[in-house]
Chain A
Amino acid sequence: MAMNVSYLDEGELRTLLRDNSAGDRSVLVVLPHHISPNGTVVFPQSSRSLIKRFRASKVEVLLAAKPDNVAFQDEHGAEWLGPLLLISASAITHDPNIIGITLSVIATYLVDYFRGKPKPHRAKFGIVLKNGLLGRKSLKITYDGPADSIEEFRETVREAKRTWESEGGSSDGRSDD
């Protein structure tokens, strides 16, 4: 299992946020996997079904791109390659439990996704916590490990967020969970 904590500066995040207005909305935002040379914004294939699961769970979510310029990349591996999800400061203000809810939805989704499939069940995805203030770095935490160990990731996110906040990363000091 690998969990990695890093920081994204504003420029890096701006590159990923093709629909610039998305980054400050009080909803969950799916960030792209990459931008193709012709400008098409490419997301992981897995995001398509995950978005449906979020919506069914009453979690507002959108893609960080205009719908007419979007494609999806499918890696034909056995592991689940999930998206990088952006959670803005305003999303946390709107719902202080948004991080926990997001991880719970993913954990439940993975149970269904891997049901019946031969082990190992591996998942990769990440979340980015965006600061509402200009010039502040965003926190990026990624997960690569067993699909049934998302609870451990939740602890890592909680710890990383606490450190980030104590260093002035969070705009309002609210804590999730």
Chain B
Amino acid sequence: MDVRMIDHPLNAVRKDLGDGRYSLDLQRAEAIFSGDIRRTKNILMQSRDEQYLAEWSDGLAIYASTFRSVKAQFASKGTDPSQATAFLGLESVAQSLSSLAKMLISLKQQRFHDAWVHLVDSEEWATLARKAGIRESETDWVLQRIRVHEEHTFPKMVFASAAFTAYGGVCTVCGQGFDECVHEEGLIYNGQMCALHMFTDLEFHHQAIVELPRDKRCYATAASHGEGIWVDWFTGVEQMQQEEEVEEVEQKNGVRVQMTIFRNQLPFGALL
């Protein structure tokens, strides 16, 4: 099997500085990466061999970690924020494609929940790439492919949207109290997305079922109509419920749904 990315082309243009840091000739790296992105369009197909996809995914992960390392170096110097943001864009493209490959691998292994999460990861990385200034033409095909999988590979999803009341919070960009700095949530500064974390307190307020959630990883995983059976949302495979669960559903005459309701995770790009 010919998998060129095992002998990774980026090795030819990157210089190892130790401690996971690299220096990079940006123009040469971009040229090589662009070539591999073009090839990736024809590689990331469901019919491809699992091992072949895994090696592409690993190769893309090498791109991502190298770009991330160079981005962090530009960001720490602070002299050229646009360079740091440009490398965040390149890292995001590599991560998006790597996640798409992982999604295909998970489908082959019938790990559908993992496949869904990889699909959402891929979409969010592509979105971050656009925020970081990568041209839409470079990410359109990824997003189109994600849409196709979303609509045809997976069943119609039901999402959860949780509302929380937050006290305090710290800015990921500068580490100051969020209301004391100038950084706006969701915008990119010096190769890093601004987000809030380290709240003093977080209170659950309410839960809603929505069509358009902020985090598509919060979704219904199984449903039960009260016949003593849970039906997996992805596979349709039935599983017997516990006796006490059956009784409760029958008394309430409703549909029970198992959901992932909240994931305590910072958005991609929020930490260098």
Binding site for B on A (CB under 8 A): 36, 40, 42, 45, 48-49, 51-53, 55-56, 71-79, 109, 112-113, 115-118, 120, 122
Interface of chain B, helix or strand or loop or mixed?
mixed
User: Which residues of A lie under 8 Å from residue B210 when comparing CB positions?
Assistant: 77-78
User: Which residues of A lie under 8 Å from residue B130 when comparing CB positions?
Assistant: 115-116
A74 engages B166 (CB within 8 Å): yes
Distance (whole angstroms) from the CB of B120 to the closest CB of chain A: 11
Chain B 142-173 residues near chain A, CB threshold 8 A: 143, 161-167, 169
B182 engages A116 (CB within 8 Å): no
Cross-chain contact of A116 among B131, B162, B205 (Cβ < 8 A): B131
Considering only CB atoms, which chain B residue lies closest to A120 in the complex? Answer: B212
Binding site for A on B (CB under 8 A): 123, 127-131, 143, 161-167, 169, 178-179, 181-187, 196, 203, 205, 208, 210, 212-215, 218, 262
Given A76-B213, A78-B213, A49 contacting B184 (CB threshold 8 A):
yes
User: Which residues of B lie under 8 Å from residue A49 when comparing CB positions?
Assistant: 184-187
Given A112-B187, A116-B128, A42 contacting B182 (CB threshold 8 A):
no
Interface of chain A, helix or strand or loop or mixed?
mixed
A48 engages B185 (CB within 8 Å): yes
A76 engages B162 (CB within 8 Å): yes
Distance (whole angstroms) from the CB of A50 to the closest CB of chain B: 8
User: Which residues of A lie under 8 Å from residue B215 when comparing CB positions?
Assistant: 76
CA distance A117 to B164 in the complex (A): 22
User: Which residues of B lie under 8 Å from residue A36 when comparing CB positions?
Assistant: 165
User: Which residues of B lie under 8 Å from residue A76 when comparing CB positions?
Assistant: 161-164, 213-215, 218, 262
Which of B123, B128, B205 is packed against the most chain A CB atoms within 10 Å?
B205
A74 engages B213 (CB within 8 Å): no
Distance (whole angstroms) from the CB of B204 to the closest CB of chain A: 11
A116 engages B129 (CB within 8 Å): yes
CA distance A49 to B184 in the complex (A): 5
B184 engages A75 (CB within 8 Å): no
Considering only CB atoms, which chain A residue lies closest to B128 in the complex? Answer: A116
Given A75-B163, A76-B213, A79-B212, A48 contacting B178 (CB threshold 8 A):
yes
Distance (whole angstroms) from the CB of A61 to the closest CB of chain B: 12
Considering only CB atoms, which chain B residue lies closest to A50 in the complex? Answer: B184
B161 engages A115 (CB within 8 Å): no
User: Which residues of B lie under 8 Å from residue A55 when comparing CB positions?
Assistant: 182
CA distance A71 to B196 in the complex (A): 14
User: Which residues of B lie under 8 Å from residue A45 when comparing CB positions?
Assistant: 166, 185, 196
B184 engages A52 (CB within 8 Å): yes
Distance (whole angstroms) from the CB of A103 to the closest CB of chain B: 18
User: Which residues of A lie under 8 Å from residue B187 when comparing CB positions?
Assistant: 49, 112-113
Cross-chain contact of A72 among B165, B182, B214 (Cβ < 8 A): B165
B165 engages A118 (CB within 8 Å): no
A73 engages B164 (CB within 8 Å): yes
User: Which residues of A lie under 8 Å from residue B123 when comparing CB positions?
Assistant: 118
User: Which residues of B lie under 8 Å from residue A48 when comparing CB positions?
Assistant: 178-179, 185, 196
Given A76-B214, A116-B129, A116-B130, A71 contacting B166 (CB threshold 8 A):
yes
Considering only CB atoms, which chain A residue lies closest to B185 in the complex? Answer: A49
By Cβ-Cβ distance, the 6 closest A-B pairs, closest first, are A116-B130, A78-B212, A116-B131, A49-B184, A76-B214, A49-B185
A72 engages B186 (CB within 8 Å): no
User: Which residues of A lie under 8 Å from residue B208 when comparing CB positions?
Assistant: 75, 77
User: Which residues of A lie under 8 Å from residue B181 when comparing CB positions?
Assistant: 52
Distance (whole angstroms) from the CB of A104 to the closest CB of chain B: 16
Distance (whole angstroms) from the CB of B65 to the closest CB of chain A: 22
A118 engages B218 (CB within 8 Å): no
B183 engages A52 (CB within 8 Å): yes
Given A48-B179, A48-B185, A73 contacting B163 (CB threshold 8 A):
yes
User: Which residues of A lie under 8 Å from residue B185 when comparing CB positions?
Assistant: 45, 48-49
B166 engages A56 (CB within 8 Å): no
Given A48-B178, A48-B185, A77-B161, A72 contacting B218 (CB threshold 8 A):
no
Cross-chain contact of B165 among A71, A79, A109, A120 (Cβ < 8 A): A71
Distance (whole angstroms) from the CB of B149 to the closest CB of chain A: 14
